[in-house]
C-alpha cells in the first residue's frame, strides 16, 4: 500500500483556478465518499484552503489512483481536464510523505512559519474521520504530520519573527516596553488593519483599548469587540496622555496627528514613552513627531523593513526545519514499507507450512506401523527443513524495509510463490498471532523510536 497526493497550490495555480477547485468546508461528505468509490482508492483526506486544494489517498496502484483523482477533480468542479491538469501536481511514496510534512510545518506556505495551515489540516482530518474515509495508514500519517509540525515549531525559531504588518507592530512594541500588560492602545480608525493589529495586541497582554473613528457607530462596534471604550473623533487628542500605543489608519488626506499636539501630550505624560504606528497611506501622523524624545514612530515602510529582516531569519530556521522533516520522512517511510512485508512473510510461511503438513500426512498414511516417537521425529525434521529453507528469504524481507528495494522483493516473492494479495492492514496483527514462531514475532515492526 502506498501514499499519494494530488493537488494544486498558490505556487501552481492563480486564485481564479484555486477558487473553482475549492471544496466547501461544510459539505465535505459528498466529495470524500465519491473519492472512496474510486476503484484504486482505499483511504482519503481532502485539504481545502484559500491557498491549496490537496487530496491525500492510499492505493496499491498509484498510477491509476492519480489518474482517477485528477479526473475526479475536473468532473466534480465542472472544469475541463485540459484547463485544470497544467496546474496540478502529484507525489507518491516518500515524495508524498515529504510534501505533507512540509505543508503541515508551513514550509510550503505563502508565508513560511504561519500557523494557520496546521489547524486547517487538522480540520480536514476531522472531516475524514467523521465520514470514515481514513484507515490505519492515513490515521498514522496525519498524526505523524501533526507531531512533525510540532517538532518544527518547538525545535526551531521558524515562527518567532513577525512577518505581517500587524504582528510586526506588536513585536516592536515589546522591544520598547518589554511587557505589554497594563498598557493602553488607541486605534485611530476602525478598519481591518487596525482591528487585526488590535487583536494581536490584546492577545499579547494589552488590557485597555480606546477606539476613535469619524463614524462613531463603527468605533462603538469595534470597541465592544475588545471590551474597550469608544472616543469621539473630534476630541480623541484629549485622551492621548492616557495612551501608550497609538495605531493610526484612517485614509484621511492630511495628518490627523500633528507635531505640536504630541509635544504637549509627552509633557503631560512626564516623558513616559509612547509608541506610534502609522499604517495609513497617505500617512496619518506627521513624521517630524519622531524627533520628539521618548516617542517612537514607525510607518508602513519601517514595518516592511522589519518584516524583510524577519523573513530572512525565518528562512534560516526553515533550513533547520527541512533537515528535521527529512529525518521524519525516512522514519515514516520505513514503517510504511513494512505494511506489505509482514503479511508477505506470514503468507510465505503459511504456504510452506501447508505443503509440509500435506506431504507429511501423505507419507505417514503409508506407514501406519510407525510409533508416536517416529512420527514426532518426522514432524520435527520437516519443520526444521522449512525453517532453514525460509530463514534467508525471511531475513531479507525483514531487512528490506530500510531501503527502496522493499517493493521489488515483496512483489518477487508473491509472484514466485503464487501468494494471495496482502490482507488488509488491520488484519495483520491477527495473522501474525496465528503463528507462534519466534521469527514471525520478530517480523512485526513497531513504530520507530527516536
Catalytic residues: 50
Closest to 278 (Cα-Cα) out of 236, 324, 246, 311: 246
8 A C-beta contact, residue 344 and residue 414:
yes
Q: Collapsing DSSP states into helix, strand and coil, what is residue 8?
A: strand
Rounded Cα distance, 84 and 52, in Å: 14
**Number of neighbouring beta carbons within 10 Å of residue 314:** 23
Distances in whole angstroms, Cα of residue 233 to Cα of each of 208, 211, 258, 282: 18, 9, 15, 19
Q: Is the peptide bond before 404 cis (omega within 30 degrees of 0)?
A: no
Name the β-bridge partners of 59. 2
The DSSP H or E segment spanning 346 is: helix 300-364
Rg (CA), the chain: 32
**Contacts (Cβ under 8 Å, ≥6 apart) of 138:** 3, 43, 44, 45, 56, 57, 58, 128
CB neighbour class for 128 (10 Å; exposed up to 12, middle 13-18, buried from 19): buried
The C-alpha cell that represents 446 in the structure block: 513497531
12-21 in b/e form (b: 16+ CB < 10 A) is: ebeeebbeeb
Rounded Cα distance, 209 and 188, in Å: 11
Secondary structure of 231-267 in HEC code, one letter for each residue: EEHHHHHHHHHHCCEEEECCCCCCCCECHHHHHHHHH
Using left for φ > 0, alpha for ψ between -120 and 50, and beta otherwise, residue 199 falls in alpha
Amino acid at each position: 500500500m502506498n501514499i499519494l497526493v494530488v493537488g494544486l497550490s498558490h505556487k501552481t495555480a492563480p486564485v481564479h483556478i484555486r477558487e473553482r477547485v475549492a471544496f466547501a468546508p461544510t459539505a465535505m461528505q459528498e466529495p470524500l465518499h465519491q473519492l472512496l468509490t474510486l476503484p484504486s482508492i482505499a483511504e482519503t483526506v481532502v485539504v481545502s484552503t484559500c491557498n491549496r486544494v490537496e487530496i491525500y489517498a492510499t492505493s496499491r496502484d498509484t498510477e491509476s489512483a492519480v489518474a482517477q483523482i485528477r479526473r475526479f477533480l475536473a468532473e466534480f468542479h465542472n472544469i475541463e481536464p485540459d484547463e485544470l491538469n497544467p496546474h496540478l501536481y502529484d507525489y507518491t511514496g516518500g515524495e508524498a510523505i515529504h510534501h505533507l510534512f512540509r505543508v503541515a510545518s508551513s514550509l510550503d506556505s505563502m508565508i513560511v512559519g504561519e500557523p494557520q495551515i496546521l489547524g486547517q489540516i487538522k480540520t480536514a482530518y476531522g472531516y475524514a474521520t467523521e465520514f470514515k474515509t481514513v484507515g490505519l495508514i492515513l490515521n498514522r500519517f496525519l498524526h505523524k504530520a501533526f507531531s512533525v509540525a510540532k517538532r518544527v515549531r518547538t525545535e526551531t525559531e521558524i515562527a518567532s519573527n513577525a512577518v505581517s504588518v500587524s504582528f510586526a507592530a506588536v513585536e516592536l512594541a515589546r522591544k520598547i516596553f518589554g511587557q505589554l500588560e497594563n498598557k493602553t492602545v488607541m486605534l485611530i480608525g476602525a478598519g481591518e488593519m487596525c482591528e487585526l493589529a488590535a487583536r494581536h495586541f490584546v492577545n499579547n497582554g494589552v488590557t485597555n483599548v480606546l477606539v476613535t473613528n469619524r463614524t462613531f457607530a463603527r468605533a462603538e462596534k469595534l470597541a465592544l469587540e475588545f471590551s474597550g471604550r469608544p472616543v469621539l473623533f473630534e476630541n480623541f487628542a484629549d485622551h492621548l496622555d492616557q495612551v501608550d500605543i497609538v495605531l493610526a489608519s484612517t485614509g484621511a488626506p492630511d495628518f490627523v496627528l500633528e507635531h505640536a499636539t504630541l509635544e504637549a501630550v509627552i509633557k503631560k505624560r512626564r516623558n513616559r514613552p509612547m509608541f506610534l504606528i502609522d499604517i495609513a497611506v497617505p500617512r496619518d501622523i506627521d513624521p517630524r513627531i519622531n524627533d520628539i524624545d521618548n516617542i517612537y514612530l514607525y510607518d508602513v515602510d519601517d514595518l516592511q523593513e522589519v518584516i524583510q529582516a524577519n523573513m530572512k531569519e525565518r528562512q534560516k530556521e526553515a533550513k533547520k526545519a527541512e533537515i528535521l522533516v527529512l529525518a521524519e520522512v525516512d522514519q515514516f517511510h520505513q514503517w510504511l514499507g513494512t505494511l506489505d512485508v509482514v503479511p508477505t512473510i506470514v503468507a510465505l510461511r503459511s504456504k510452506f507450512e501447508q505443503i509440509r503438513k500435506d506431504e507429511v500426512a501423505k507419507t505417514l498414511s503409508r506407514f501406519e506401523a510407525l510409533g508416536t516417537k517416529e512420527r514426532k521425529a518426522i514432524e520435527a525434521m520437516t519443520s526444521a527443513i522449512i525453517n532453514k529453507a525460509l530463514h534467508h528469504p525471511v531475513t531479507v524481507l525483514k531487512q528490506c524495509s530500510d531501503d527502496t528495494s522493499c517493493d521489488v522483493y515483496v512483489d518477487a516473492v508473491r509472484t514466485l510463490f503464487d501468494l494471495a494479495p496482502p490482507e488488509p492492514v488491520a488484519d495483520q496483527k491477527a495473522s501474525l498471532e496465528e503463528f507462534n514462531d519466534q521469527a514471525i514475532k520478530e517480523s512485526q515492526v513497531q513504530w520507530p523510536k527516536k
